[in-house]
């Protein structure tokens, strides 16, 4: 390396043509503000620079500017690895880093957009929209899905937001690592309750809010006391992997699928048990017919019923975080499993016991829309304290659900089917019956708890008038 690698300047070029084509809203917005004659690109692409004549693609070592950061001309925004050294790459323009298209650790071909720079706060939304367009409209996008979704990989089912066992942390002081994590996972610190000393927000609080399993902290105790069992388990499944059958195609997990896989494997460490319950739904079905025109779905009715029953059994929506205590959650947040293209996500109906079914329905509609567009914010999919999974619409009559880490119980609902039932006097009749099956963490929820909860739930379903109150 004869020439010193002076910080390179980055070619962030105005992408006016594409902006206009891809995002007409941009033009409209510009027109509104600047008059019809002036159409200026508000969003600029930051390209993978060519750091040498032979370079064809570059790897992002790290982003020195994060999404949402305001940068000015000449600031280093990204570190790109070349064959010999990491080089700082500077921006030519002032603006806000709206979207990072190629996260750190991934590569992009020279000239490919790696981030979008918005001129002002208002343009950030446009940039987000453009990022979507870029990701869908560029079939020849760089390897490993360079047009990554703006949000961090959403863990499909995630532990609950941290409760506040300590005195409310009013000051909102966050530790250095907590701040870093919050930025990384886009967690709004103002909404995180600190559980650390003096009510400060700890990294664990942020991770909980972002739905990440907290890593074990450095054990400041004699080494012998450190837990050994859990991590050593990792090696085992790897060894057992068989080579694929010839001709098979290997498709790596997407981030979401990886999160699902991780959560499912983690669930193996929780001792669960299941309790089933038959429930007659004639009255519920009748109610459903009545409220359906008002936009209420069966999912919402079931969630509401579950929430009302849960209100009487706090232990069922508690969680066991450390194997030695109950963590009672402050609100009943019903996570509902939704299958989306290539994955599974659990939008959360927060405080389902407190809102009426119409409000809940409205909320649910928004959540589903966002989920399909992959735009859910972390707190919208990881704050659940109880999960509902319904496969009834497929005709499934009963199934088992796997308990998501961090929750106390999950309810699996089958289809309601006409069934011959005998009443207590021995008279036969045909009623609509559905089977629900609840999986729970037996460290905190015992059989009797679950049975009592199910009994209450069944009562609400079988006499559903209270749902409309």
Partner 1 sequence: MFSTAMSLSTAAVVAGGAVRPDAIRPADLRFCGLRREALGIRLLSASPQAAAAAKRKVLAAAATGNGAAGSGGFDYDLVIIGAGVGGHGAALHAVEKGLKTAIIEGDVVGGTCVNRGCVPSKALLAVSGRMRELQDEHHMKSLGLQVSSSGYDRQSVADHANNLASKIRSNLTNSMKSLGVDILTGFGTVVGKQKVRYGKVGFPDNEITARNIIIATGSVPFVPKGIEIDGKTVFTSDHALKLESVPDWIAIVGSGYIGLEFSDVYTALGSEVTFVEALDQLMPGFDPEIAKLAQRILINPRKIDYHTGVFASKITPAKNGKPVLIELIDAKTKEHKETLEVDAALIATGRAPFTKGLGLENMNVVTQRGFIPVDERMQVMDADGNAVPNLYCIGDANGKLMLAHAASAQGISVVEQISGKDNILNHLSIPAACFTHPEISMVGLTEPQAREQADQEGFEISVVKTSFKANTKALAENEGDGIAKMIYRPDTGEILGVHILGLHAADLIHEASNAIALGTRVQDIKLVVHAHPTLSEVLDELFKAAKVTGIPQAVSEPVAA
Q: Which residues are catalytic?
A: 442
Please choose, from the candidates 131, 108, 107, the residue with its C-alpha nearest in 3D space to the C-alpha of residue 118. 131
Total number of residues that touch partner 1 (CB under 8 A):
38
209 or 334: whose CB is closer to partner 1? 209
Using alpha carbons only, give the angle 445, 449, 451 rounded to the nearest 5 degrees.
Answer: 120
Element (H, E) at 132: helix 121-137
Out of 74, 137, 165, 231, the residue judged to bind partner 1 by CB under 8 A: 231
Give me the least distance between CB of 67 and partner 1, in Å please: 16
- By the rule CB under 8 A, 339 interacts with partner 1: no
Which of these segments, 154-162, 226-234, 336-344, 421-429, binds partner 1 (CB under 8 A)? 226-234
- By the rule CB under 8 A, 217 interacts with partner 1: yes
- By the rule CB under 8 A, 180 interacts with partner 1: yes
Q: How far apart are the C-alpha atoms of 163 and 330, rounded to whole Å?
A: 7
- By the rule CB under 8 A, 219 interacts with partner 1: yes
Task: Pick left, alpha or beta for residue 166 (phi over 0 → left; psi -120 to 50 → alpha; otherwise beta).
Answer: beta
Out of 17, 190, 218, 420, the residue judged to bind partner 1 by CB under 8 A: 218
Out of 37, 38, 190, 228, the residue judged to bind partner 1 by CB under 8 A: 228
Q: How far apart are the C-alpha atoms of 155 and 256, rounded to whole Å?
A: 6
Give me the least distance between CB of 79 and partner 1, in Å please: 7
198 or 446: whose CB is closer to partner 1? 198
Tokens 């706060």, located at residue: 121
- By the rule CB under 8 A, 175 interacts with partner 1: yes
Residues 39-98 touching partner 1, rule: CB under 8 A, are 62, 64, 79, 84-86, 88
Helices (H), 373-422: 378-381
- By the rule CB under 8 A, 294 interacts with partner 1: no
Count CB atoms within 10 A of the CB of residue 6: 8
- The DSSP 8-state label assigned to residue 388 in this structure reads E
Give me the least distance between CB of 132 and partner 1, in Å please: 29
Which of these segments, 9-17, 159-167, 219-227, 415-423, binds partner 1 (CB under 8 A)? 219-227
Residues 234-253 touching partner 1, rule: CB under 8 A, are 235
218 or 241: whose CB is closer to partner 1? 218
Please choose, from the candidates 138, 461, 111, the residue with its C-alpha nearest in 3D space to the C-alpha of residue 303. 461
Q: How far is CA 69 from CA 100, 151, 208, 210, in A?
A: 11, 16, 24, 20
Q: How far apart are the C-alpha atoms of 240 and 300, rounded to whole Å?
A: 42
Can you state the angle between helices 447-462 and 282-291, rounded to 10 degrees? 60
Which of these segments, 67-75, 227-235, 366-374, 455-463, binds partner 1 (CB under 8 A)? 227-235
- By the rule CB under 8 A, 190 interacts with partner 1: no
Out of 168, 223, 240, 248, the residue judged to bind partner 1 by CB under 8 A: 223
Residues 195-214 touching partner 1, rule: CB under 8 A, are 196-198, 200, 203
Q: In this structure, what token pair is assigned to residue 161?
A: 């937001």
Cβ-count burial of 16 within 10 angstroms (0-12 exposed, 13-18 middle, 19+ buried)? Answer: middle
Can you state the angle between helices 24-34 and 121-137, rounded to 10 degrees? 160
Contact set with partner 1 (CB under 8 A): 1-2, 4-5, 62, 64, 79, 84-86, 88, 171, 173, 175-177, 179-180, 196-198, 200, 203, 216-223, 225-228, 231-232, 235
């Amino acid at each position: 390396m004869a020439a010193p690698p002076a910080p390179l300047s980055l070619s962030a070029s105005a992408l006016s043509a594409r902006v206009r084509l891809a995002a007409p809203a941009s033009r409209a917005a510009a027109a509104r503000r600047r008059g019809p004659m002036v159409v200026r690109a508000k969003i600029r692409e930051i390209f993978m620079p060519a750091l040498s004549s032979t370079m064809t693609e570059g790897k992002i070592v790290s982003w020195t500017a994060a999404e949402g950061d305001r940068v000015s001309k000449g600031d280093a925004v990204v570190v790109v690895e070349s064959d010999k050294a990491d080089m700082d790459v500077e921006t030519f323009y002032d603006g806000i880093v709206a979207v990072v298209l190629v996260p750190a650790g991934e590569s992009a071909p020279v000239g490919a957009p790696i981030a979008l720079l918005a001129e002002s706060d208002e343009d950030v939304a446009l940039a987000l929209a453009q990022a979507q367009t870029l990701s869908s409209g560029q079939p020849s996008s760089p390897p490993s899905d360079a047009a990554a979704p703006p949000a961090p990989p959403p863990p499909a089912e995630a532990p609950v937001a941290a409760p506040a066992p300590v005195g409310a942390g009013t000051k909102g002081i966050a530790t250095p690592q907590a701040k870093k994590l919050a930025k990384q996972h886009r967690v709004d610190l103002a909404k995180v309750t600190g559980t650390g000393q003096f009510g400060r927000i700890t990294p664990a609080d942020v991770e909980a809010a972002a739905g990440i399993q907290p890593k074990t902290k450095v054990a400041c105790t004699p080494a012998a006391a450190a837990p050994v069992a859990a991590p050593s388990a990792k090696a085992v499944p790897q060894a057992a992997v068989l080579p694929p059958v010839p001709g098979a195609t290997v498709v790596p997990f997407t981030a979401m699928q990886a999160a699902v896989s991780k959560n499912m494997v983690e669930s193996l460490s929780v001792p669960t048990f299941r309790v089933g319950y038959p429930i007659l739904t004639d009255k519920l079905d009748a109610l459903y017919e009545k409220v359906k025109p008002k936009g209420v779905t069966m999912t919402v009715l079931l969630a509401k019923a579950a929430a009302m029953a849960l209100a009487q059994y706090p232990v069922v929506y508690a969680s066991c975080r450390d194997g030695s205590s109950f963590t009672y959650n402050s609100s009943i947040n019903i996570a509902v499993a939704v299958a989306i293209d290539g994955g599974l996500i659990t939008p959360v109906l927060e405080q389902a016991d407190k809102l009426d079914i119409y409000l809940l329905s409205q909320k649910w509609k928004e959540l589903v829309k966002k989920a399909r567009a992959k735009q859910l914010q972390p707190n919208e999919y990881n704050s659940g304290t109880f999960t509902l999974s319904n496969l009834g619409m497929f005709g499934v009559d009963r199934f088992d659900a796997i308990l998501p880490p961090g929750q106390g119980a999950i309810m699996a609902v089958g289809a309601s089917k006409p069934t011959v039932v005998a009443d207590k006097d021995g008279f036969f009749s045909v009623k609509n019956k559905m089977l629900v099956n609840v999986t729970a963490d037996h460290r905190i929820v015992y059989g009797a708890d679950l049975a009592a909860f199910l009994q209450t739930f069944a009562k609400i379903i079988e006499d559903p008038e209270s749902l409309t109150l």
